[in-house]
Amino acid sequence: MDFLDKFKYHKDDPSEFGIDLKEFKKKTSELDNSHLSNLLTNSVRVDREILPKVGKAIDVVFKRIKIENVFNFFITPDNNQANASCSLMSSASRPDIILTSRLIELLSLEELQFVIGHEVAHYIYQHALYPNFNNVDDRNLKLNILNLSRAAEISADRIGFLSCANLEDSLRANFKLASGLSDKYFNFKPSTYLDQLRDLEDLGKSSHELWSTHPSFLIRMQSLIWFSMTKEYHEFFDKKVKGTYDLKEIDKKLDLKIKKITGDELEKSNTDIYERALIWGSLNIYLSDKKFTKIEQEEFAKRFGEKSKKAISLLKVSNARDILDQKIDESFNDAAKLLKTDKNKLVEELKLVGKETGGDKMKKLKILGKLLNILGIKKPVNF
């Protein structure tokens, strides 16, 4: 199933949160059996003799994406919500995909293939192991986790698209799930919904989108349209017509489109946390020899510009060391919740400061080691 990894949206990266999916091992199957018992009691398991059309749709999905069907499929009674879920996603368990009766009634079999493929993707990519924003209090970390959650949905949509092998069916499935409307109530015209997306962009930042676990259906439809233009998509189906874009190009276009709607609040917040840790950590390195000469102050000011003034002025107060220690603890505890890429970048910048400043190298390395420890980075440091 690793061959499907190349279709993931690049922001769908759990390693940024210190999660290594390959190391995950489930230790017990007790929860699996309990959940399966509940499903067998209250839902209908998909049997090809009883539900031949749904069974065929399932078979087509696994044939298209070229993986083995290790899933239990159930239909649960719900006349209000058209929904689907993958209940257990450990790679060591037999996962269950639950489809509501309303979903079966609302979608065509081709559209249903998109939804089934989407849920299968959540299992393939092990999205259930991603951090839950409800379990954290830190605002910035919560926003980063939500950003990861939305990225996971983009990835799952791409596998859903491959599963039904038809752009219009993929788009119609998204529209129906967003609106709850069946075919008899609408004329499907994707360009109209892209106009709606542009209207949303014109309004600027959407707090609802920023704090949502799922992207807007408008973003998801645009994403699928762009995905259909990629070389990777066409190569998957051995199409004679080559795609216009590489998937990396599409990911960048999608980044910009999403930013127009979510705004730059998360980016600014991450940058602010990063810069505060960098300036206070750097000052700590400069002071490794308990001196801060005029030349060093000029170098510091040149490196950090206007933001250096507050740090330099701090040293004039009597309890400067206590205040600096507090600033370091606060800024680096916040920075510990940044993405892995940002933390690694911060370490490299601090190492550069250590290399370019005067003073005893061992003292500076000791300071760097303590800062890395606060960041949660357990590795030797040198420059």
Average pLDDT of each block of 10 consecutive residues along the chain (383 residues)?
A: 90 94 57 71 92 96 95 92 80 80 96 98 93 95 97 98 96 94 86 84 86 95 96 89 92 95 94 97 94 91 92 87 94 97 97 92 95 94 89
Long-range CB pairs of 145-149 (<8 Å, 24+ gap) are 145/17, 146/210, 146/211, 146/212, 146/213, 147/11, 147/266, 148/11, 148/12, 148/13, 148/14, 148/16, 148/17, 149/213, 149/214
Tally the C-alpha atoms within 13 A of residue 128's C-alpha that lie toward its C-beta.
Answer: 19
Give the 3-state secondary structure of residue 108: coil
Evaluate whether 161 touches 170 at the Cβ level (below 8 Å): yes
* Per-residue model confidence (pLDDT) at position 281: 97
* Per-residue model confidence (pLDDT) at position 351: 96
Residue 244 structure tokens: 């216009």
Q: Where does residue 361 rank: exposed (0-12), middle (13-18), buried (19+ CB within 10 A)?
A: middle
Residues 6 or more apart from 138 whose CB is under 8 A from it? Answer: 334, 337
Q: Which of 103, 201, 213, 198 is nearest to 156 (CA)?
A: 213
Element (DSSP H or E) covering residue 314: helix 308-314
Burial 81-98 (b: 16+ CB within 10 A, else e): ebebebbbbbbebebbbb
From the centroid of its chain, how far is CA 32? 26
**pTM, rounded to two decimals:** 0.91
Sign of CA dihedral 269, 273, 275, 276: positive
* Per-residue model confidence (pLDDT) at position 28: 40
> How far is Cα 242 from Cα 142, in angstroms, rounded to an integer?
40
CA-CA-CA-CA dihedral for 375, 381, 382, 383, to nearest 10: -20
Evaluate whether 44 touches 74 at the Cβ level (below 8 Å): yes
* Per-residue model confidence (pLDDT) at position 206: 84
128 residue type, one letter: A
- 230 strand-pairing partners: 245
Evaluate whether 97 touches 39 at the Cβ level (below 8 Å): no
